[in-house]
């Protein structure tokens, strides 16, 4: 179930950077209880992100679209603070880091 | 009440409000650049002539402040994490500001209507008061006290003081009750240009540059030092300049302003060096490039001690730095606003564009190149006493550059999904 949710979250793309929230390393943790409640801990690339609320809504919708997930709860955290090191190599390469 | 996480849906400003400010601003930018054609003299006269006042106000009020007001209505909720008290006030402020600028510029240009100067100034002042009021009522919800918040709060206080001085100046021109006009002008410039415009630029840069470049691991000690230096420059320097005839006060204030902006440039360089996102992006690249003009302007300010280059330094600051920085910022902000307004609700339902898809592929780079060519050519014309037709050609380049920018903005605003 956890893998399915992560796969669904790969459909949530930051329109400014052009990468999904999973590859960007914004998803810190995903837990699913037996009664189908998904708890997703995530962060944003910056606290000043103007799309903050919208991205969280997209993450919630994407998680709830997975069969067996009744409800998704999103927890936005700032610790540890996000940095580009948390992103996948593909993202780093695309941004010119590697 | 902090608005993190819910801002985008609940507290985002009306799309049309921001467009009122941005589109009018770009039209004023075109007029401001074109006005350089009307005054093709060398930059050797003192800065306090009506000719320069006309260009400066057309450009600064019409373009720079107009865009800043629009941008702040968008950025205050995200940067300060507070909702704006009233967007209706934003609309009223816009129409008062626009009317005020038109009357003010008309009075400056046409001696027969000079008595209308305080009327235009009063309307501008009322619009500034409305913005200040709207801002400080919104501030009651402020919980975060980050660097950007400190810069923006200082900027709005400075705008209020600088605007008040501007109104007094305009009344003084007609009624003649205070003889130290140059002192008032210098204080007005300190509070509005440095106190408001530069403080907003410095504060907002600390949000936009890290956000667009994904740079987070950088030392921010330079911008913190710049803030302290700026406070002294604006409030102590600006006040002393208004009341004292001492030349050393003016020089000391200029040195502090120089130091503050140098620290800011060092901070931007630090972010540039540490930025993870190195791929080509016309918006981010232009924002960084604009700072080379700020460095050039600072050098020209120093040289103005020996040569008459103060107006040249002002031109480099206004058109070189501010105009280019605003172009770069709007290349990032306008696609985002339009995307959010038109396409964010379609996410997950159909394929939506990325923000970069909403700009023409190559035209923005050509637009920036043409505009920068115009500025460079005009600077060479001024520096080396070249024939007047060089001035005409360079202004034409800048003017076409602004028109292209207007076209690209409209292209983005009217962007549609392919069926």
**Domain assignment of residue A69, given as a range:** 2-83
pLDDT exceeds 50 at position B1:
no
B257 within a domain of the structure (yes/no): no
Q: Per-residue b/e over B253-282, b at no fewer than 16 CB within 10 Å?
A: bbebbebbbbbbbebbebbbeebbbeeebb
Task: Verify whether the Cβ–Cβ distance B279 to A58 is below 8 Å.
Answer: no
- Do B154 and B201 meet the contact criterion of CB atoms below 8 Å apart? no
B170 within a domain of the structure (yes/no): no
Which token pair is A94? 């695309």
B126 within a domain of the structure (yes/no): yes
**Structural domains of chain A, count:** 1
Separate counts of helices (H) and strands (E) for chain B = 17, 0
Q: State the average pLDDT for chain B.
A: 92
Express each pLDDT in A29-81 by its tens digit.
Answer: 999 999 999 999 999 988 888 888 889 999 999 999 999 999 999 999 999 99
Partners of B5 on chain A (C-beta within 8 Å) are 52-53, 56, 76
Size of interface A-B (CB pairs under 8 A): 89
d(CA B202, CA A23): 32
Best probe of the B interface among A9, A14, A16, A42, by most B CBs < 10 A, is: A16
Helix (H) / strand (E) containing B265: helix B247-274
pLDDT of A96 reads: 82
Partners of B211 on chain A (C-beta within 8 Å) are 45-46, 48-49
pLDDT of B79 reads: 84
A35 within a domain of the structure (yes/no): yes
A91 within a domain of the structure (yes/no): no
pLDDT of A59 reads: 94
- Burial status of residue B19 (CB atoms within 10 A of its CB: 0-12, 13-18, 19 or more): middle
- Burial status of residue B311 (CB atoms within 10 A of its CB: 0-12, 13-18, 19 or more): buried
Find the mean pLDDT for residues B245-252: 89
Partners of B79 on chain A (C-beta within 8 Å) are 48
CA distance B262 to chain A (A): 26
Choice among B41-55, B226-240, B243-257, B274-288 with the minimum mean pLDDT? B41-55
**Domain assignment of residue B104, given as a range:** 1-144
Express each pLDDT in B120-161 by its tens digit.
Answer: 999 999 999 999 999 999 999 888 788 999 999 999 999 999
- Burial status of residue B418 (CB atoms within 10 A of its CB: 0-12, 13-18, 19 or more): exposed
Partners of A92 on chain B (C-beta within 8 Å) are 276
Residue B6: pLDDT band by 50, 70, 90 thresholds?
A: very low
B1 within a domain of the structure (yes/no): yes
Query: What is the pairing mode between strands A27-32 and A37-42?
Result: antiparallel
pLDDT of B19 reads: 96
Residue B419: pLDDT band by 50, 70, 90 thresholds?
A: low
Q: At what angle do helices B199-213 and B221-231 cross, to 10 degrees?
A: 170
B359 within a domain of the structure (yes/no): no
Q: Is A54 on the interface with B (CB under 8 A)?
A: yes
B385 within a domain of the structure (yes/no): no
Q: Is A86 on the interface with B (CB under 8 A)?
A: no
Q: Which of B8, B81, B214 sits opposite A54 (nearest CB)?
A: B8
d(CA B163, CA B188): 7
Nearest to B31 by CA among B402, B376, B407: B402
CA distance A84 to chain B (A): 7
Best probe of the A interface among B1, B5, B152, by most A CBs < 10 A, is: B5
Express each pLDDT in A7-25 by its tens digit.
Answer: 999 999 988 888 999 999 9
pLDDT of B279 reads: 87
Residue in this structure with the two tokens 């990325």, named with its chain if needed: B354
Task: Verify whether the Cβ–Cβ distance A50 to B78 is below 8 Å.
Answer: yes
Give this prediction's pTM. 0.93
A76 within a domain of the structure (yes/no): yes
Task: Verify whether the Cβ–Cβ distance A15 to B214 is below 8 Å.
Answer: no
Nearest to B78 by CA among A77, A55, A53, A18: A53
> Which of the listed ranges A51-55, A71-75, B35-39, B382-386 does the model predict with the highest average pLDDT?
A71-75
A89 within a domain of the structure (yes/no): no
A18 within a domain of the structure (yes/no): yes
Which token pair is A16? 């400014």
A98 within a domain of the structure (yes/no): no
A97 within a domain of the structure (yes/no): no
B248 within a domain of the structure (yes/no): no
- Per cent of chain B over pLDDT 70 is 95
A73 within a domain of the structure (yes/no): yes
**Structural domains of chain B, count:** 1
Partners of A94 on chain B (C-beta within 8 Å) are 279
pLDDT exceeds 70 at position B40:
no
Give the CATH number of the domain where residue A57 resides. 3.30.300.130
* A75, closest residue in chain B (CA to CA): B5
Helix (H) / strand (E) containing A27: strand A27-32
pLDDT exceeds 50 at position B2:
no
> Between the CA atoms of A62, A63, A67 and A71, what dihedral angle is there, to the nearest 10 degrees?
-120
């Amino acid at each position: 179930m956890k893998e399915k949710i992560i796969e669904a979250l790969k459909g949530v793309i930051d329109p400014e950077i052009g990468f999904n929230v999973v590859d960007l390393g914004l998803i810190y943790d995903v837990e699913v209880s037996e009664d189908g409640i998904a708890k997703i801990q995530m962060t944003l690339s910056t606290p000043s992100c103007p799309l903050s609320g919208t991205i969280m809504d997209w993450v919630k919708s994407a998680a709830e679209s997975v069969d067996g997930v009744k409800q998704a709860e999103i927890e936005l955290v700032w610790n540890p603070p996000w940095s580009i090191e948390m992103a996948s190599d593909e993202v780093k390469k695309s941004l010119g880091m590697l | 009440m902090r608005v993190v996480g819910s801002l985008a849906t609940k507290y985002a400003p009306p799309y049309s409000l921001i467009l009122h400010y941005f589109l009018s601003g770009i039209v004023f930018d075109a007029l401001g650049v074109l006005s350089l054609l009307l005054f093709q003299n060398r930059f050797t006269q003192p800065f306090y002539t009506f000719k320069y006042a006309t260009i400066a106000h057309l450009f600064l009020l019409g373009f720079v402040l107009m865009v800043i007001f629009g941008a702040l209505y968008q950025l205050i909720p995200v940067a300060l994490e507070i909702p704006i008290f009233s967007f209706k006030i934003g609309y009223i402020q816009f129409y008062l500001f626009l009317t005020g600028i038109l009357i003010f510029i008309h009075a400056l240009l046409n001696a027969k209507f000079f008595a209308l100067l305080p009327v235009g100034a009063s309307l501008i002042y009322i619009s500034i008061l409305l913005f200040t009021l709207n801002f400080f009522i919104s501030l009651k919800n402020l919980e975060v006290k980050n660097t950007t918040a400190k810069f923006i709060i200082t900027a709005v206080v400075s705008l209020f003081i600088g605007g008040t001085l501007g109104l007094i100046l305009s009344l003084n021109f007609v009624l003649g009750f205070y003889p130290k006009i140059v002192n008032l002008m210098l204080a007005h410039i300190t509070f509005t240009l440095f106190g408001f415009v530069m403080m907003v630029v410095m504060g907002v840069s600390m949000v936009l540059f890290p956000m667009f470049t994904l740079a987070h691991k950088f030392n921010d000690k330079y911008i913190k030092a710049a803030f302290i230096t700026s406070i002294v420059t604006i409030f102590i320097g600006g006040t002393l300049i208004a009341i004292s005839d001492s030349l050393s006060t003016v020089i000391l204030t200029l040195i502090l302003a120089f130091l503050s902006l140098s620290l800011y440039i060092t901070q931007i360089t630090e972010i540039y060096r540490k930025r993870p996102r190195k791929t080509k992006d016309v918006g981010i690249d232009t924002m960084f490039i604009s700072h080379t003009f700020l460095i050039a302007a600072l050098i020209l300010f120093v040289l103005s001690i020996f040569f008459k280059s103060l107006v040249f330094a002002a031109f480099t600051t206004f058109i070189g730095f501010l105009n280019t920085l605003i172009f770069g910022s709007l290349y990032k902000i306008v696609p985002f606003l339009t995307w959010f307004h038109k396409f964010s609700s379609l996410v997950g339902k159909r394929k939506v564009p990325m923000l970069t898809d909403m700009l023409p592929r190559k035209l923005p780079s050509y637009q920036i190149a043409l505009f920068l060519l115009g500025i460079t050519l005009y600077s060479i014309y001024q520096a080396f006493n070249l024939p007047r037709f060089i001035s005409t050609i360079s202004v034409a380049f800048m003017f076409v550059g602004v028109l292209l920018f207007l076209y690209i903005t409209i292209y983005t605003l009217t962007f549609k999904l392919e069926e």
